[in-house]
Amino acid sequence: MPLLEVSKLSISFIQYAKGSLQQKITIVEELDLAINEGEIVAVVGASGSGKSLLAHAIMGILPKNVSMTGSISYGGELLDEAKLKLYRGKEIALVPQSVSYLDPLMRVGEQLRTQADGAEQLKEREGLFARFQLGKHVERLFPFQLSGGMARKVLVSTAALQRSRLIIADEPTPGMHPADVAEALDSFKQLAEGGCAVLFITHDIEAAIRIADKVAVFYAGTAVELAPASDFQGNGERLRHPYSRALWRALPQNGFEPIAGTQPARRSDLQGCLFAERCRSAEEQCGNSRPEPREMRGGIVRCVNAT
């Protein structure tokens, strides 16, 4: 049984379009994802494809103007408000994406300590600080005095704790120096080896395939492919979905060739495959209905043409 199981998750925003006229925008649609204990699942994909919303939905910190359907279960139980209160910040930890999640008026050291902390956690954090070469003086700094990379390290230090059973790391590494990225990835890897499940949201595909067991590729709010990390190699020929291949080939080290177009703006009037208008192998049927997920070569894909 997976430790975390997300099924048929849809997330919509209610937005005021004009005056009192409301508009519903679906950002995440029919998303399925599961993580076992000791497993690292990376989520890569388009910016604005709902990766962070998934993290926020799991943590129960979605904004108020949001409606959510589908279910999220943790250890076999439905993860509701009451369960979240129990686990959040203890068994389930979030490494937030933006530096603005730090309190601007509080010194870094104070922000790292929570009421749930004991001497053991404190020691662990000091160890992490040392590994990240943050230095004791960083604890005395305010967030505005941190560089982008330093702030990331502080954010990772808030969550990489032995007591965590599930870590949701939302873009923990951008702007970090390669050596520090390696350090952060190592600390996640170690936690996973100790049985912790890690949801690693990133667009650093290189980092994803270095530590993850599986990689979920997101596009326009849904997982178009779930692939073993080892399938990301060569020219991407082992990948199943055309978007995954395009993403892989757009990396600076793999050709740097972008496909044209942008992710569709999310409204309810889109009928067919969300990638169809940018897909070279799109056929007529692709415009009619959303492809259902199907299993293929040890992965899952949402594409009728996938091979």
Partner 1 sequence: MRLEGRNLGWRYPGGPLLFNGFSITLQPGETVGLIGPSGSGKTSLGRILAGYMKPIVGEVSALGRNKRESNYDPVQMIFQHPEHAVNPRWRMARTITEGWIPDAALLAALGIHEEWLQRYPNELSGGELQRCCIARALGPETKFLIADEMTTMLDAITQAQIWHTVQGIVRARQIGLLVISHDHALINKICNRTLKLNE
Using CB under 8 A, pick the residue from 99, 159, 185, 227 that binds partner 1.
Answer: 99
Contact positions with partner 1 (CB under 8 A) in 110-169: 145-150, 152-153
Of the two residues 1 and 64, which places its CB atom closer to partner 1 in the complex?
64
Three-state secondary-structure class, residue 45: strand
Question: Would you count residue 233 as binding partner 1 (CB under 8 A)?
Answer: no
- Interface with partner 1, residue 22, by CB under 8 A: no
| Tokens read off for 100 | 């603005």
Query: Using the rule CB under 8 A, which residue among 9, 33, 45, 187 binds partner 1?
Result: 45
Is 290 within 8 Å of 272 (Cβ atoms)?
Answer: yes
The residue from 251, 270, 296, 304 that contacts partner 1 (CB under 8 A) is: 251
177 binds partner 1 (CB under 8 A): yes
Residue 66 vs 296, nearer CB to partner 1: 66
Minimum Å gap between C-beta 167 and partner 1 is 20
Please give the Cα distance from 49 to 51 (Å, whole number): 6
Give the nearest distance from C-beta 32 to partner 1 in angstroms. Answer: 21
Kindly tell me which residue out of 68, 250, 296, 304 binds partner 1, with binding defined by CB under 8 A.
250
Quick count: other Cβ atoms within 10 Å of Cβ 107? 15
Of 94 and 166, which CB lies nearer to partner 1 in the complex structure? 94
> Applying CB under 8 A, which part among 30-38, 123-131, 252-260, 293-301 lies near partner 1?
252-260
Q: In the structure encoding, which two tokens stand for residue 255, read together?
A: 């050709």
Total binding residues for partner 1 by CB under 8 A?
45
Count of beta carbons in the 10 Å neighbourhood of residue 89: 18
CA distance 166 to 243: 29
Tokens (6 digits) for 254? 């793999």
d(CA 137, CA 233): 42
From 87-95, 118-126, 170-178, 293-301, give the range in contact with partner 1 by CB under 8 A: 170-178
Helix (H) or strand (E) run with residue 111 in it = helix 108-112
Going from the C-alpha of 277 to that of each of 184, 222, 303, the distances in angstroms are: 38, 16, 13
> Among residue numbers 259 through 278, which ones bind partner 1 (CB under 8 A)?
259-260, 262, 265
Work out whether strand 294-296 and strand 299-301 pair parallel, antiparallel, or are unpaired: antiparallel
Q: Nearest distance from residue 171's CB to partner 1, in Å?
A: 7
Gyration radius of the chain's alpha carbons = 20
Q: Counting beta carbons within 10 angstroms of the beta carbon of residue 288, is it exposed (0 to 12), middle (13 to 18) or buried (19 or more)?
A: exposed
Residues 53-92 that bind partner 1 (CB under 8 A): none
Are the beta carbons of 64 and 1 closer than 8 angstroms?
A: no
Nearest to partner 1 of 40, 176 (CB atom): 176
Token pair belonging to 2? 């997976």
Binding residue for partner 1, selected from 258, 268, 283, 289, defined by CB under 8 A: 258
Candidates 30, 170, 180, 183; binder of partner 1 (CB under 8 A) is: 180
Q: Can you give the binding site for partner 1, defined by CB under 8 A?
A: 15, 44-49, 52, 97-100, 145-150, 152-153, 171, 174-181, 203, 205, 246-248, 250-253, 256-260, 262, 265
